[in-house]
């Protein structure tokens, strides 16, 4: 029991020192930087479709409702990529590392954009979006597997940085379309997609010249996690899995729909007559979303996950009301609504995943895949449904649909909160629930059933306990050892 207690205290210290980088971590830093470069290009490529949609519709002489199939085709490919990722990672070996696989996948995505810009056949265009979506799914899955393997308990700041990089790319992509048009944007993304792979190749070349006997793979093998498995997290019930999957479906649907259709909505409602100004609305949305993801890092130290998700849902309700009331009034109002919507939807995904663990449920690979499937279905189905509702003469259905999605997210969260409390006694902190002193003092005494203590308060409580009761506990443990 003492080992479990000390392990938990060490885990808290590791989380607090997540930004400390040692000299021997240089291979991990390079791999993480490559993942961030991949996510910048990935974010720009993913976010460029919405602002480019009016120009693509004009290029192919098709209505907006039919162009909505581009979102669906890319999401179908994304689902295929997620399904294939468990087989693709088996290719790892030698210089074929996970980051190298992800970098090659990004090259394929950039090549698809280059070809989309050059062809005139809509069917081939849809096929290319399917291929691009497939490699998007591979990138997203492989990189999210890679970083925890590299950093272990120190992964939090690196994971947040990588996902913030996606937001940076999502700002730059629409902005580039606004300034230079989608032709130049697609060409630039296809060229810069080679940068992550080139960075890795140069690093391997440097290693081979400076240290001929050392390989990146050998250095990475030293990062295995040898910590004892003390978590007593419970399996997540199917009902709760479905609720969270539904939440992610509506969340990703709202995010993809607003970012994808706000430019077309602004043009159809005559909020602006400039395609460049309409593209900036998508860029503003992604900029606010990125700011939200960056600010979520320090906020998580001082606020519990439950508090954060409630704040985000409250802001989402405010954003929905603004969509219904002032979105079409003026271009300035559309900019404000886009900023509020982006910030409101910024960090719900990682926070909701954290809450599942905080309620004492195990989030394993199968559970995560189920959540990803829900998110993929949202990206595949919701934007095309909204596109069909909008047609060419009913753009007002876009803000109404966003409000319906936000209301559905709120209802599913409330259902999850109520059912999780009724299903099982809450075990805070990802399932750690053990007696520190036999039958007298439990970690629950410090955390409480409402999950309102932050990470900072948890560590303070455990430190207080250590000062007050630590000596008595050590004496009891030594006596048991002697007996």
Q: Is 440 inside any structural domain?
A: yes
H-state helical runs in 193-274:
195-210, 216-220, 238-268
Q: Is 427 inside any structural domain?
A: yes
Cα–Cα dist 49/198, whole Å:
26
Same domain, yes or no: 275 and 180: no
Same domain, yes or no: 307 and 387: yes
Same domain, yes or no: 209 and 240: no
The residue with tokens 């989380």 is 15
Last residue of a domain, one of 166, 183, 218: 218
Same domain, yes or no: 289 and 279: yes
378: tokens are 């949202």
Q: With bands split at pLDDT 50, 70 and 90, how would you rate the model's confidence at 155?
A: low
Q: Is 29 inside any structural domain?
A: yes
pLDDT in the model for residue 368: 66
pLDDT in the model for residue 452: 43
Last residue of a domain, one of 433, 451, 470: 433
Same domain, yes or no: 428 and 445: no
Given CA atoms 231, 232, 235, 237 in this order, what sign does their dihedral have? negative
**If you average pLDDT over each of 70-84, 126-140, 340-354, which comes out highest?**
126-140
**CATH code for the domain of 48:** 1.20.1250.20
Q: Which of 119, 175, 165 is nearest to 139 (CA)?
A: 165
pLDDT in the model for residue 458: 45
pLDDT in the model for residue 421: 61
Q: Which region among 64-68, 175-179, 444-448 has the lowest average model confidence (pLDDT)?
A: 444-448
Number of domains forming the structure of the chain: 3
Q: What is the mean pLDDT of residues 127-132?
A: 93
Element (H, E) at 118: helix 98-118
Cα–chain center distance at 242 = 19
Same domain, yes or no: 420 and 444: no
pLDDT in the model for residue 392: 59
Same domain, yes or no: 197 and 300: no
| pTM exceeds 0.95 | no
Confirm if 130 and 380 have CB atoms less than 8 A apart.
no
Return all residues near 15 (Cβ < 8 A) that are at least 6 apart: 153, 154, 156, 455
Q: Which region among 30-34, 231-235, 464-468 has the lowest average model confidence (pLDDT)?
A: 464-468
Torsional class of 453: left (φ above 0), alpha (ψ -120 to 50), beta (otherwise): beta
Cα–Cα dist 286/259, whole Å:
8
The predicted-structure confidence for 294-329, as pLDDT tens digits, reads as follows 887 777 667 777 888 899 999 999 999 999 998 888
Cα–Cα dist 149/243, whole Å:
29
Q: Is 12 inside any structural domain?
A: no
Same domain, yes or no: 426 and 310: yes
Q: Is 6 inside any structural domain?
A: no
Q: Is 226 inside any structural domain?
A: no
The shares of helix, strand and coil residues in the chain, as percent rounded to the nearest 5, are 80, 0, 20
Same domain, yes or no: 114 and 250: no
Same domain, yes or no: 51 and 122: yes
Last residue of a domain, one of 169, 194, 218: 218
More confident site: 44 or 478: 44
User: CB 214: neighbour CB atoms within 10 A?
Assistant: 12
Cα–Cα dist 149/144, whole Å:
9
Q: Is the pLDDT of residue 87 over 50?
A: yes
Cα–Cα dist 143/116, whole Å:
26
Cα–Cα dist 319/329, whole Å:
15
Torsional class of 224: left (φ above 0), alpha (ψ -120 to 50), beta (otherwise): beta
pLDDT in the model for residue 180: 87
Q: What percent of the chain has pLDDT over 90?
A: 22
- For 100, the domain range is 24-218
Same domain, yes or no: 248 and 174: no
Q: Is 297 inside any structural domain?
A: yes
Same domain, yes or no: 307 and 214: no
């Amino acid at each position: 029991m003492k080992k479990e207690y000390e392990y938990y205290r060490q885990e808290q210290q590791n989380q607090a020192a997540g930004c400390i980088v040692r000299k021997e971590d240089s291979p991990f830093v390079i791999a993480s930087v490559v993942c961030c470069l991949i996510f910048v290009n990935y974010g720009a490529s993913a976010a460029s479709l919405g602002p480019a949609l009016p120009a693509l519709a004009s290029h192919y002489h098709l209505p907006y409702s039919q162009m909505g199939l581009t979102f669906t085709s890319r999401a179908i490919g994304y689902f295929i990529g997620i399904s294939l990722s468990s087989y693709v990672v088996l290719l790892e070996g030698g210089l074929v590392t996970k980051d190298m696989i992800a970098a090659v996948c990004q090259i394929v995505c950039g090549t698809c954009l280059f070809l989309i810009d050059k062809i005139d056949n809509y069917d081939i265009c849809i096929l290319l979006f399917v291929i691009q979506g497939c490699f998007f799914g591979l990138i997203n899955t492989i990189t999210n597997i890679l970083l925890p393997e590299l950093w272990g308990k120190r992964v939090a700041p690196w994971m947040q940085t990588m996902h913030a990089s996606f937001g940076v790319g999502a700002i730059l992509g629409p902005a580039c379309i606004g300034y230079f048009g989608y032709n130049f944007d697609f060409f630039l993304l296809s060229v810069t997609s080679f940068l992550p792979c080139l960075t890795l190749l140069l690093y391997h070349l440097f290693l081979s010249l400076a240290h001929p006997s050392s390989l990146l793979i050998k250095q990475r093998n030293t990062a295995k996690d040898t910590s004892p498995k003390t978590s007593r997290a419970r399996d997540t019930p199917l009902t709760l899995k479905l609720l969270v999957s539904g939440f992610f479906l509506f969340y990703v649907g709202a995010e993809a729909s607003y970012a994808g259709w706000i430019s077309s909505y602004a043009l159809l409602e005559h909020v602006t007559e400039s395609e460049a100004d309409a593209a900036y609305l998508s860029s503003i949305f992604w900029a606010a979303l990125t700011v939200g993801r960056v600010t979520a890092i320090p906020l998580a130290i001082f606020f519990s996950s439950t508090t954060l998700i409630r704040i985000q849902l409250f802001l989402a309700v405010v954003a929905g009301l603004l969509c219904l009331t002032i979105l079409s009034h003026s271009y300035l109002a559309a900019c404000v609504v886009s900023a509020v919507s982006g910030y409101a939807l910024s960090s719900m995904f990682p926070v909701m995943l954290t809450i599942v663990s905080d309620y004492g449920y195990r989030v394993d690979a199968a559970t995560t895949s189920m959540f990803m499937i829900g998110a993929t279905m949202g990206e595949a189905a919701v934007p095309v449904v909204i596109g069909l509702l909008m047609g060419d003469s009913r753009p007002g259905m876009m803000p109404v649909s966003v409000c319906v999605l936000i209301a559905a997210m709120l209802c599913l969260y409330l259902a999850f909160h109520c059912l999780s409390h009724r299903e099982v006694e809450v075990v805070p902190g990802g399932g750690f629930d053990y007696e520190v002193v036999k039958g007298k003092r439990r970690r629950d005494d410090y955390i409480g059933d409402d999950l309102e203590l932050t990470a900072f308060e948890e560590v303070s409580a455990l430190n207080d306990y250590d000062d007050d009761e630590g000596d008595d506990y050590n004496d009891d443990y030594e006596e048991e050892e002697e007996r």
